[in-house]
Amino acid sequence: MVAAHNGADAVYLGVPFTSLRMRQNKVRDYKILQQTIDDLHALGTKAYLTMNIFPRNMDIKIFESVLARVSEM
């Protein structure tokens, strides 16, 4: 939110469980992610979601469920 309040036209957010940006963004669950996106949009700022992990075979189902949940936002 600091970036948006200082004139950024877009910010990158980490998606819970699939991003290395989670710690920097303080986005730890989907409720916070949705609220952050809503707040950014209210300020006229775009929100880009990052999913920057390489899921291993055993993680594919989790990765798919996270992607499905995020796509509903």
CA 24 to chain centre: 11
What are 34-58's pLDDT values in tens digits? 998 999 999 999 999 888 777 778 8
In the chain, the percentage of residues whose pLDDT exceeds 90 is 25
Domain ranges for the chain: 2-71
CA 33 to chain centre: 6
Mean pLDDT to the nearest integer, 59-68:
84
Question: What is the reported pTM?
Answer: 0.75
